[in-house]
A and B are shown apart, each in its own frame.
Chain A
Amino acid sequence: MTTDSEVPRERKKDKKDQVYEDLINILTEELGVSPTDVDPTLDIREDLQFDSLQLYSFIITVEEAYDIRISDEQIDQVHTMNDLVDMVCGIIEQ
């Protein structure tokens, strides 16, 4: 039996999982990153060695995919894939 408190957590997890999956697809299709190289703690700049152009290219695709706007200040606060998933989910929920 599911308690009331578990329901929202479950929904939230589903959404984050979906966003995470979408982001991996974007990285794979747009920027040629192998899905096996990506994990939630991966540092987007350091581990993927993205330069500014690649990072913006990735961010613009994410913006278009979710019809959202991501400012430079928000990008600066993102380090790992987990950070990015949290940020995208946060913007979608606003």
Chain B
Amino acid sequence: MNDLEQQMAENLVSIFEKVLVAEEKSLQKGYFSNLSLAEMHTLDAIGPYEARTMTETAQILGITVGTLTVSVDRLVKKGFVARRRDEEDRRVVRISLTRDGKLAARMHGKFHKVLAKHILEPYTDEEQELLLSLVKEVDEYLNTQVARYDNDDKIRQTAKDVAKDVRRRKTDDD
């Protein structure tokens, strides 16, 4: 690995870690400290407006319906998600955000927007466009890498364990 690749690798990992840590900390110190980051992302996946089915939501999050059911159970108990049977097809369960759920999701969305705003702020319009197009290309490349492992739950679990470990190490350092 040459020096440029080494720096790129380190910066990518560092960005990944710091975004996670910043999200966790903003949650812990904010109005919704009783929500974990994973739960917040579940609220995001459900979305603020239309009621979604469990299957749709699980697909968005890239998890099984069984895993989502556990998470939704907790979110229903905490008052962030409402669950009801579809009126036309009683076999289908639809989930939607309660008022508190909508509030939490919008506040969290704001966190992401403020972060992006501050990152872009120092640059000219042209530089911002360039930065965005480069970031999009990185994102597209990573999508192709993720797609390779789409059906491999073991690798997905390993990635989750690594992310969890990174967060734990960050917390220990603080």
Q: Mark A residues whose CB is within 8 Å of B.
A: 52-53, 56-57, 59-60, 69, 72
Contact = CB atoms under 8 A, between A and B. Distances in A.
A52 B113 contact: no
Given A52-B107, A53-B31, A53-B107, A60 B102 contact: yes
Contacts of B106: 56, 59-60, 72
Nearest to A59: B106
Looking at chain B's contact residues, is the secondary structure mostly helix, strand, loop, or mixed?
helix
Looking at chain A's contact residues, is the secondary structure mostly helix, strand, loop, or mixed?
helix
Contacts of B103: 53, 56-57, 60
A59 B113 CA distance: 18
Contact of A52 (B99, B102, B110): B110
Interface residues of B, number: 10
A51 to B, nearest CB: 9
Nearest to B49: A69
A60 B49 CA distance: 10
A56 B108 CA distance: 11
Contacts of B102: 60
20 contacts: A52-B107, A52-B110, A53-B31, A53-B103, A53-B107, A56-B103, A56-B106, A56-B107, A56-B110, A57-B103, A59-B106, A60-B99, A60-B102, A60-B103, A60-B106, A69-B49, A72-B106, A72-B109, A72-B110, A72-B113
6 smallest CB-CB distances across A and B, nearest first, come from: A56-B106, A60-B102, A53-B31, A56-B103, A52-B110, A57-B103
